[in-house]
Amino acid sequence: MSVDLDHIQTVYAEADCLFPEAQVEAAIDRVAAEITEVLASTNPLVYTVMNGGLVFAGKLLTRLNFPLESSYLHATRYRNTTSGGELDWKVPPAQDMKGRTVLIVDDILDEGHTLAAIVDFCKAQGVEQVLTAVLVDKLHDRKARENMKSDFTGLDVEDRYLFGYGMDYQGYWRNAPGIFALKGA
Ligand SMILES: O=P(O)(O)OC[C@H]1O[C@H](OP(=O)(O)OP(=O)(O)O)[C@H](O)[C@@H]1O
Ligand SMILES: Nc1nc2[nH]cnc2c(=O)[nH]1
């Protein structure tokens, strides 16, 4: 598919910055401290959900100063579009997680279907416990499960289409240094 880079540039130029880099980094500091408090002695297996979780996980992991194992899984529901569909497991978890504490790290809890499916998968593998960490939680009443929350949350955000810090717009701007909302969405 050919991409209109002028359009991609315009989207960035016209977007609203909801949280600039310094605020996001402060949120990651806080989340890292909370995770350390709860998980430092549990020898956790930390799973990054690709692609979106990449930036948050990279920044989070160096702030977790205790023994842990890091791996990734790849599940997608949006496929570079702005509305979700069926969850597609591109790379399921590879490690044996039976009896382990597992932390799932992702960029966003939106409707929550992605995290719910991953958590269910981990439970079916016989984990000791599975916890979740997201950089942003989008506030609305369309969650997959009632009152669904992540165990660790960086920032609560309004109900708009977001990009930056791992979140994409048509595959672009995962590298944007802040949390941005699409103009008019
Ligand atoms: O809470 P939900 O409504 O399920 O949405 C959240 C998921 O959507 C995004 O992934 P996406 O499917 O866009 O794939 P990506 O990680 O490659 O961007 C994001 O990274 C989360 O994994
Ligand atoms: N980039 C991006 N991915 C999402 N996945 C679910 N919600 C969103 C969103 O607002 N932005």
What are the extents of the domains in the chain? Answer: 5-9+15-181
Distance 158 CA to ligand 1 centre (A): 16
Task: Categorize the per-residue pLDDT at 83 as very low, low, confident or very high, splitting at 50, 70 and 90.
Answer: confident
Asked if the model's pLDDT at residue 103 lies above 80, the reply is: yes
**Exposure on the CB side of residue 107, measured as CA atoms within 13 A:** 20
39-51 residue pLDDT tens: 999 999 999 999 9
The per-residue pLDDT for 85 is: 76
Q: Cα separations (Å) of 23 from 17, 104, 145?
A: 11, 22, 29
Residue 53 is predicted with a pLDDT of 98
| Whole-number Cα distances in Å, 159 to 69, 126, 141, 182 | 34, 34, 10, 11
pTM beyond 0.90:
yes
Q: Which atom of ligand 2 is nearest to the CA of 78?
A: 5
Ligand lying closest to the C-alpha of residue 132:
1
Residues within 6 Å of ligand 2 by CB: 78, 108, 110, 161-163, 167-168
CATH of 5-9+15-181 among 3.40.50.720, 3.40.50.2020, 3.30.450.20, 1.10.1060.10: 3.40.50.2020
Task: Take atom 13 of ligand 1 and give the residue whose Cα is closest.
Answer: 78
Chain-centroid distance of CA 132 in Å reads 9
Candidates 12, 108, 179: which one to mutate for ligand 2, based on the most atoms within 8 Å of Cβ? 108
Closest-approaching ligand to the CA atom of 145: 1
In this prediction the ipTM stands at 0.98
